[in-house]
Amino acid sequence: MAQIGKICKVSNQAESLIRWKGNGEAFLSEKSVSSVVKNKAMILKLSIECVRGHYLQEPCIRVIEVDENATLYDLHEAIQDVVDFERDHPFGFYLANSSSPWAKKHWISRDEKWERVEAKLMRTRLKDIYPLGRKKLYYLFDFGDMWTFEIRKARGSKKPESDVKYPRVVESIGPDPEQYPIWEDS
């Protein structure tokens, strides 16, 4: 029975593959185990474009590959890394039809207590978000400067490469936006 618990923690899909004997013991058939092994996480390709920000001057697009089991919190960390921002402001993810500030936003997590927002973002996996239909995923960082990133998923996915650490940048267009530009006195 201890082995079953370990297997269930490896994959959420394993729980549905458990077979029960009449005496209450559980087991996984060989067929079930092989289907769990075959269902390893896939790699998604995401295009992340900075579409708005108080100091945005030039186009900034980063294309990354990321594990489909990564959470929205993991995606926040990846975006911060690829644009070289400091992690010093609240953030959020929402769905909308466009990046317009007046577009109707459907926030993925909205709460007065930051701990609950953060917990929800740590539980929400990318594979649970996609497909989005007509909506697009947006990441808003710093509610004062309104750094807004549009996140588009490329069609399909691929198997992970064994010697690659994800997430990784596969394409970079334009310079990093300056989060805090240095103003010279005139």
How high does pLDDT run on average in the chain? Answer: 82
Q: DSSP state, 2?
A: H
User: Is residue 157's pLDDT more than 80?
Assistant: yes
> What residue spans define the domains of the chain?
2-38, 43-173
Higher per-residue confidence, 183 vs 130: 130
- Give the C-alpha separation, 62 to 140, whole Å: 16
Measured between alpha carbons, how far is residue 70 from residues 44, 52, 82, 92, 114 in Å?
10, 25, 16, 16, 20
If pLDDT is split at 50, 70 and 90, which confidence band does 5 have? very low
Among 7-16, 19-28, 45-54, 76-85, name the one with the lowest average pLDDT: 7-16
pLDDT attached to residue 3: 41
Structure token pair of residue 177 = 């936006």
pLDDT tens-digit map of 21-33: 555 454 444 443 3
Which secondary structure element, helix H or strand E, spans residue 20, and what is its range? Answer: strand 19-20
pLDDT tens-digit map of 56-109: 999 999 999 999 999 999 999 999 999 999 988 989 999 999 999 899 999 998
Fold adopted by 43-173: 3.10.290
Burial of 142 (0-12, 13-18, 19+ CB in 10 A): middle
pLDDT attached to residue 87: 85
pLDDT tens-digit map of 94-147: 999 999 989 999 999 888 888 899 999 999 999 999 888 889 999 999 988 999
Rounded-to-5 percentages of helix, strand, coil across the chain: 25, 25, 45
pLDDT attached to residue 183: 67
Higher per-residue confidence, 141 vs 19: 141
